[in-house]
Each structure stands twice: as C-alpha cells, then as structure tokens.
Amino acid sequence: MNILIDSSVLIALHDSDDVHHQRSVKDLTQVQKQGDEMWMSEHVLDEVLTILSKRRKDRQIKHLWQLLESNQIHLFLPQSTNQAWQIMRQTYDLLIQQEKKRASYTDLHQVVLVNHHYLQDASILSYDHHLTS
C-alpha cells in the first residue's frame, strides 16, 4: 500500500517539541514494518521545509532531505504537464466547493491524489481530522 504523508506527521516527526512527536515516530515505524511505501507531495515538502526552517530545525531539514534522497519517502510528481493541470484543476474545484470545512489547497491536493487514484492503492496519514483516510 502507498501512504501519502501529510505535513502534520512530518513536522511532528522532525520537531521533538511538537505535541504529536511520539505519535509520529510510532506511526511511521508501523508504516515501515508493514512494508508500505511512504510518499509526499511537493506541496507537503514545501510546507514542511518552510515550517522547519522558521523553527530553525536545520539538522531535521537535512534528515528529511536524506529520507527523500534515499527513497525512504518518495516524492509524488505528475507524469506530464497535462496531468499536473488536471490535478490542479480538480484541487481548485474542491477548494471553491468548500462550504463549512476550510481545508487548505495542500490538504485538498492530497485528497485529489488519493481519491482520483493518481497515487494507486493509497491512503493519507495525517493528524488533521479532515484528512484521515
């Protein structure tokens, strides 16, 4: 199975002061034990690197980068420019359709990747209640 990791999990993993730090260590260890593939989107990477940088977590930024370079976490990239536009359009459509829930574009982008099967056999690992699948 493919697990699309949300910013909330990766930030918690890399910030020992985060309320979900221990939970993230446990959850990601479980994902690895199960043999699931871990993925993130470019939007999530952007969020995580930005927040860790603002928190001055330089060592943790390097660790995240090492996880990407070693393919322990894969980066989802659209297969073509057309597919990228299709994903963006579907995400935009969800964004403007929101009524009560106000999810971010990044969160909705992940929903599109999973629900429209751009990432096959996938679920989202998140600590945001509206993203858990």
Question: Is 133 a member of any domain?
Answer: no
Cα dihedral 15, 32, 91, 130 in deg (nearest 10)? -70
pLDDT tens digits along 50-67: 999 999 999 999 999 999
CATH number of the CATH domain containing 79 = 3.40.50.1010
Q: How many helices (H) and strands (E) does the chain have?
A: 6, 4
75 close to 42: Cβ distance less than 8 angstroms = yes
Question: Is 10 a member of any domain?
Answer: yes
Question: Is 83 a member of any domain?
Answer: yes
Q: What is the pLDDT of residue 77?
A: 97
Q: What is the extent of the structural domain holding 51?
A: 2-125
Single pTM value for the model: 0.91
Q: pLDDT tier at 131 (50, 70, 90 boundaries)?
A: low
pLDDT tens digits along 6-31: 999 999 999 899 999 999 999 999 99
Number of domains in the chain: 1
Question: Is 64 a member of any domain?
Answer: yes
118 close to 87: Cβ distance less than 8 angstroms = yes
